Amino acid sequence: MGMQRRKLLATGAMAAGASVALTGCGAVKNLLGFSGGDEKTAAPKGDMLQQRLKALEARSGGRLGLSVQLAGGERGFGYREDEAFPMCSTFKLLLAARILHLSQLGEFPLEQALLYEKNELVPYSPVTEKHADAEGMTVRALCEAAVVQSDNTAANLLLTLQGGPAGLTRWLRTAGDMRTRLDRTEPQLNSAVAGDMRDTTTPRAMARTSLALLTDKKGELNPASQKQLRDWLLASRTGDKRLRAGMPGDWIVGGKTGSGENGTANDVCIVWPTKGMAPMVVSAYLTGALKVDADGRNAILADVGHVVGDWYRARR
């Protein structure tokens, strides 16, 4: 391990010590199942949305969770919002936010290089494998690799920098997230064993925390860090066949996916349905989905994205 990295890791370890009025065209309203009455106050029947999501869940053979959180405190919706699901690589969004936060505090510059060796590489490290035993990578580049390419070694190096899995969990607690927890590193955290609470979140917790990190003007990240994190999410294409595939084509979508064992596929997206308007965050988690293969799981998440699109259009 290089001296530069040791010094930086030591510094990082210390740092870790109400109802909405709804209008819409009849076709969309019928699709979602509106109650009768005055069109200005008609609301979509929650059970229709639940039925559509329940049907997708049944098709998968597993368990589906969804949460839609809107900026400004507007009411969203969800399905199994408060049940625990394996995070898999969606934790990398939170990890990158933590690194940006520590850099804001002056713990290290994002342009500081970290040196690492080939024996530290773990499976699926398409970016970091090119720089081992060489010039290393900057903290910024590691964050980009972890979020945009889901590089596992990059995530592990960044975890060490900020105090390990426990360090990330502690920070999330101080940020107000009482449900999300990280216990292991890549790739072990992807085991997704049913009933195992390690490395889990809830759809609501992930969506709320992500929305706050990405948009809250008085939150953990300053505007420059928020923009950087949003830019990384927008640059990622790992979710092109998941939620965004089912959302309206004119929506602006950035996201962080996760995949694991036991039929697990996840997607957390920041979404701008209208350019210039406040975004929303959509988190979808699918696990135990063994009736379908990887493509089938992608298709189910795309259909979840379609449900979200229908819901949003109707509420406008």
Per-residue burial over 71-105, b if 16 or more Cβ lie within 10 Å, else e, is eeeeebbbbbbeebbbbbbbbbbbbbbbbbbbbee
In a domain, 14, yes or no: no
- To the nearest whole percent, how much of the chain has pLDDT over 70? 85
Q: What is the pLDDT of residue 314?
A: 87
Give 279's contacts (C-beta < 8 A, 6+ positions apart).
71, 211, 214, 215, 270, 271, 272
Check pLDDT > 60 for residue 84: yes
Q: Considering the entire predicted model, what is its pTM? A: 0.87
In a domain, 30, yes or no: no
- Tens of pLDDT along 132-164? 999 999 999 999 999 999 999 999 999 999 999
Q: What is the pLDDT of residue 86?
A: 99
Check pLDDT > 90 for residue 40: no
Check pLDDT > 80 for residue 167: yes
In a domain, 262, yes or no: yes
**Omega into 248 within 30° of 0, i.e. cis?**
no
Q: What is the pLDDT of residue 37?
A: 31
Residues 254 and 239: their CA atoms lie apart, in Å, by 8
Check pLDDT > 70 for residue 7: no
Q: What is the pLDDT of residue 45?
A: 55
In a domain, 211, yes or no: yes
Q: What is the pLDDT of residue 123?
A: 99
Locus of tokens 């009411």: 75
Check pLDDT > 80 for residue 51: yes
Q: What is the pLDDT of residue 133?
A: 95
Check pLDDT > 60 for residue 25: no
In a domain, 15, yes or no: no
Mean pLDDT calculated for residue range 191-219: 98
In a domain, 311, yes or no: yes
In a domain, 236, yes or no: yes
Mean pLDDT of the residues in the chain: 88
In a domain, 40, yes or no: no
- Tens of pLDDT along 252-294? 999 999 999 999 999 999 999 988 889 999 999 999 999 999 9
CATH number assigned to the domain comprising residue 153: 3.40.710.10
Q: What is the pLDDT of residue 3?
A: 34
Check pLDDT > 70 for residue 49: yes
45 C-beta neighbours (distance < 10 Å), count: 13
Q: Which domain holds residue 158?
A: 48-315
By annotation, the residues acting in catalysis are 89, 186
Number of domains in the chain: 1
Residue 46: pLDDT band with limits 50, 70, 90: low
Locus of tokens 């076709």: 27
Q: What is the pLDDT of residue 73?
A: 83
